[in-house]
Amino acid sequence: MGENNFRLLEAPIIEAVLDIDCDMPPGREISTLEPAAHEKLRPQYTKVRRVFVQTHQIETPLGEAPKFKLHQAVHGLQFLSEDEKQLVQFRAQGYSFNRLAHYTSLDDYLPEIERTWQIFVAVAAPVQIRSLRLRYINRLMLPMPEKTPLQLEEYLKVCPRLPDEEKLTFTGFLNQHTAVENGTGNQVHIILTNQPAENKKLPLILDITAENTAQSEVENWPCLLARIQALRVLKNRVFRNTLTEKCLNQYQQR
């Protein structure tokens, strides 16, 4: 199966995010886009939330007490579906599409990504694309044996190791890697960590972000789509090469 067509029956994805960072028109206040954006995005996105950013400033005039100033501005607009499982964001730095579980396949969401991206382009008038990021957060539930320690190597090809495995037992770990893909220059950021055990299972978080930093035109959707697909192939390859067949088979059964 090709990496572009890789699909699990029950994907362990808890959130998928596509970020398209852009150079925006100078002086554009993101809050002014809300009426036009919401009008075009309804009825699929019925809820709107504003994301604020605060900056603190301290002035210390000579011989006077310090003066504190607080500035607050709208940093982004979030347009959410009624069940809040899907949202489109118009940010001061660009556009984002978020999908929470239940997640099916990127193919299912690409038409909506294209539609809402075109709305963003029409309303926000971005100057150019600066970078793309495709991020997938997976939550893997590994069954824990009752009488023996969990053998991580049964589920992970890329596995954290202890310096003394006879006398030490994992209580937690955090692995982080960054790499570049030869030939494309795309980057990938990988985080693997555990969460507290629940219901005799150990949750593992596998967080994969594939990134492309080439600049491109905002109007050329076929070019943008090709870059998204290239990031998808990289993400899928990292996912498959991190997990063993035993682990993958858990998500091939309904």
- Report pLDDT for 252: 79
> Among candidates 170, 175, 172, 163, which has minimal Cα distance to 149?
170
The domain total for the chain is 1
Q: What percent of the chain has pLDDT over 90?
A: 73
Indicate whether 2 belongs to any domain: no
pLDDT at position 72 over 60: no
Task: Provide mean pLDDT across the span 139-146.
Answer: 92
Cα 90 to Cα 119: distance, rounded to the nearest angstrom? 10
pLDDT at position 179 over 80: yes
pLDDT at position 1 over 60: no
Task: Provide mean pLDDT across the span 134-159.
Answer: 92
pLDDT at position 10 over 80: yes
243 burial level (CB within 10 Å; 0-12, 13-18, 19+): buried
Indicate whether 12 belongs to any domain: yes
pLDDT at position 60 over 60: yes
pLDDT at position 119 over 90: yes
Whether the ω angle into residue 43 lies within 30 degrees of 0, i.e. cis, is yes
Indicate whether 128 belongs to any domain: yes
Cα 26 to Cα 19: distance, rounded to the nearest angstrom? 20
User: Domain range for residue 158?
Assistant: 8-249
